[in-house]
Amino acid sequence: MRNKAAFDRPGRRYVLIRFAQFCLCILLFCAKTNAADSVIFDPAAPPIALRPYFGIIEDDAGLYNPDTLLARPGLFAPISGFKPVKSNSIFWLFTRVKSLEAANAVLSFKHLSYADLYIIPDTPGAVAMHRQAGAFRLAEQISPGDSRFHININLSAGITYKILICSRHTKQYRPVLDFELSGLYGFIQTKQRRELVDFWFQGAGLLLLLYALIAWATTRYKSYLWLAVFITGLLLYNLALSRYFIDWFFPSHPYFAWLLIIHFLHLAIAGLYLLILDFWKIKEKNGQLYRLGKAVLYGIAALSVLSFFINAYTGNLRVMSQVNGLFLVVQVAYLARLLLLWKSFDRQERFLAYGVIVYLAVALFVTLAIFIIGEGAYNFFPVLSGSLLVVVSLLFLTGINGKRWQNEKDKALYLAQLNRLQQHQNQLLEESVMERTRELNSRNRHIELLMNELNHRVKNNLQLLYSLNSLQRASIKDAYVDDILKDNIARVKAMMLVNDSLNPGNNSDNKAISPVTFIADIAEHTKKMFARSASVDIRLKIDGALVLSATAGLCLGLIVTELITNSCKHAFAAQPHPQIDIEILVAGDCWKMHYRDNGSGIGDQSGEALGLFLIADLTRQLKGDYNIGKHDGVSYLFNFPNPD
């Protein structure tokens, strides 16, 4: 029994010792898993992804503070296999970092809305340093030298640092805790390479935009304008995704700038559809597709408004991205239907189709990446949007420039054909004009011959009347009858003189005559017809600018004949120096004739009723009027309207 008891006591002791060792192992294992391993940092090595080294706490209720968590690292659970309850919770991350040498390090990440870094040497009495960053962090809250997505830290050689990160993501995506620790030199090199690529795409996009705007300004070809809208939207979208847009224009309002990003993409898509509808002439090819295209444009505007309200009032960028992704289904269906018009496209229009195919391929890839990967897909969006901007714009420009060149070529061909047709028409017209001219010349010669014959006959008839009256006068002994014959002879002579003025040989325009010559001839002939012992002095003053029709000239000649006849017959019996003044002048909108003599005035002229009646009737025919003055002889003042 003693031997058995002796055996049993050491056995129980052995079991207790083994149990104690087991518990110690469990405690060590738990301590090892609760406190993350230290990160050994070498500034010359590639960047270190910190995620595997993090311990994590999801603080949905906001219960923790940095001091508590830095003092109790055992509260953190391993990050492997961690699944968040809410995507917009506060997540605390903890790890330790030990640098092999004194170094300037950079802690960087890509997507978080807000990130607060607390770093403290793992030595007694040390004070934690607090730095802020994040996509929606105000510029004034970020330390100099840091950015929204990186924080500079200084590490001393051989000292272990506690690193505590408070991350909060408000875009409703599952947070991507992709923190990296790298040396400052390596980070700057990587950043410069990334910026070089970004600036290359943006510079290329800006040159393409300037080219499109200048081409539109010089040609007014609408396709260039819609291409400029497309490039502008993609250029701004690329700037915003690369975060330059926020830092350059809205450093103190980053969230508002994030709201605009999707609208830049909508602007680019609207420009694409306007370009397609215009360049492919969809309205002419298919009216129904054109109306559907306009409906898609209205849908883009409605989607832009909906996206703004989702972002502004819910902040759920994930839902907004998914809604825009679903709208791509409408775009794919419509653009695929348009591409079925391939056979109706010419060579230049097919370049635009190639660009549309590239756009659809990239859009489908991006949409699937958003639904499958989530926010991590945005990492390659700047490169994709920049590549899309350059490649598609170049394809579009190739098609548009080719179309313009073809249009100019066709225009030159049409102009050449039109010129040949016009020359042929001109030749036919010239031949027709020449033939017509010959006919008119022949007709004019015939008319001129007839006019000459007519004038000759009128002249002969007037001359016959003049001669008959003159011969009859020679056999008349009665003074009264002789006066009548002389009056008639004077009137016939006046008509003969007016007719001579209308003779084509004397007048290039037989429809209008100047009274200067025939009035002088009438005055001279009438003075001879009624010659007395004292010669009558007739003074004429006639405006050479006055031109009368044949009818008006005849009326004026007969009026002057009657006036001179009356003066010579009745006014100068007792006047030793008889004188007559005739003045014809143009005065504004009328012309006037002033007739004066220095005779005895108007006495009993009952025998001259025919002469006075002729003067009154001829004045009426000229639509004029006259007044008679009786001071120092007789005077007549005639007023006639200007001839038409």
For residues 395 and 351, the answer to whether their CB atoms sit within 8 Å is yes
Closest CA to 77 of 120, 36, 27, 119: 36
Closest CA to 76 of 13, 163, 178: 163
| Type and span of the H or E element at 34 | helix 2-34
Number of independent structural domains in the chain: 4
Q: Are residues 212 and 133 in the same domain?
A: no
Q: Is residue 464 part of a domain?
A: no
What's the mean per-residue pLDDT of the chain?
83
Q: Is residue 386 part of a domain?
A: yes
| pLDDT tens for each residue of 605-627 | 554 566 788 888 888 888 889 88
Q: Are residues 614 and 494 in the same domain?
A: yes
Q: Are residues 111 and 212 in the same domain?
A: no
Of the listed ranges 326-335, 403-412, 486-495, the one predicted with least confidence: 486-495
Please give the pLDDT value at position 506.
Answer: 53
- How do 114-121 and 160-168 pair as beta strands? antiparallel
For residues 547 and 514, the answer to whether their CB atoms sit within 8 Å is yes
Q: Is residue 2 part of a domain?
A: yes
Q: Are residues 242 and 202 in the same domain?
A: yes
Alpha-carbon span 493 to 518, nearest angstrom: 10
Q: Is residue 102 part of a domain?
A: yes
Alpha-carbon span 568 to 571, nearest angstrom: 6
Residue 519: give its domain's CATH number.
3.30.565.10
Please give the pLDDT value at position 299.
Answer: 93
Q: Are residues 196 and 151 in the same domain?
A: no
Tokens coding 126: 């040390």
- Domain range for 140 is 38-178
Cβ neighbourhood burial of 634 (10 Å; 0-12, 13-18, 19+)? buried
| pLDDT tens for each residue of 424-475 | 888 888 888 888 888 888 887 777 677 666 666 666 676 667 676 666 666 6
Alpha-carbon span 275 to 229, nearest angstrom: 9
Helices (H), 376-504: 381-474, 479-502
Q: Is residue 238 part of a domain?
A: yes
Q: Are residues 96 and 217 in the same domain?
A: no
Residue that terminates a domain, selected from 178, 212, 236: 178
Please give the pLDDT value at position 31.
Answer: 38
Half-sphere exposure of 225 (CA within 13 A, CB side): 10
Q: Is residue 206 part of a domain?
A: yes
Cβ neighbourhood burial of 149 (10 Å; 0-12, 13-18, 19+)? middle
Alpha-carbon span 271 to 225, nearest angstrom: 9
Alpha-carbon span 609 to 604, nearest angstrom: 10
Closest CA to 455 of 411, 510, 408: 510
Dihedral angle sign, alpha carbons of residues 556, 558, 560, 566: negative
Q: Are residues 201 and 287 in the same domain?
A: yes
Percent of the chain with pLDDT over 90: 30
Q: Is residue 435 part of a domain?
A: no
Distance between start and end Cα atoms, the chain: 165
Residue that terminates a domain, selected from 367, 388, 416: 416
| pLDDT tens for each residue of 524-551 | 877 777 766 568 888 888 888 888 887 8
Q: Is residue 185 part of a domain?
A: no
Alpha-carbon span 209 to 17, nearest angstrom: 80
Cβ neighbourhood burial of 165 (10 Å; 0-12, 13-18, 19+)? buried
For residues 278 and 227, the answer to whether their CB atoms sit within 8 Å is no
Q: Are residues 196 and 231 in the same domain?
A: yes
Residue 209: give its domain's CATH number.
1.20.1070
Please give the pLDDT value at position 609.
Answer: 63
Q: Are residues 10 and 52 in the same domain?
A: no
Alpha-carbon span 267 to 264, nearest angstrom: 5
Cβ neighbourhood burial of 412 (10 Å; 0-12, 13-18, 19+)? exposed
**DSSP of 210-279:** HHHHHHHHHH--HHHHHHHHHHHHHHHHHHHHTTHHHHHH-TT-HHHHHHHHHHHHHHHHHHHHHHHHHH
| pLDDT tens for each residue of 175-219 | 888 899 999 999 999 999 988 998 999 999 999 999 999 999 998
Q: Are residues 214 and 142 in the same domain?
A: no
- Mean pLDDT across the stretch 244-273? 89
Q: Are residues 350 and 280 in the same domain?
A: yes
> Tell me, what amino acid is at 569?
K
- How do 90-99 and 38-41 pair as beta strands? parallel
Q: Are residues 145 and 9 in the same domain?
A: no
**DSSP of 535-584:** PPEEEEEE-TT--EEHHHHHHHHHHHHHHHHHHHHHT-TT-SS-EEEEEE
Question: What Rg do the C-alpha atoms of the chain give, in angstroms?
Answer: 57
Residue 28 scores a pLDDT above 60: no
Three-state DSSP state, 150 = strand
pLDDT class of 356 with cuts at 50, 70, 90:
very high
Alpha-carbon span 452 to 264, nearest angstrom: 88
- Mean pLDDT across the stretch 6-33? 44
Please give the pLDDT value at position 7.
Answer: 33
Alpha-carbon span 470 to 487, nearest angstrom: 11
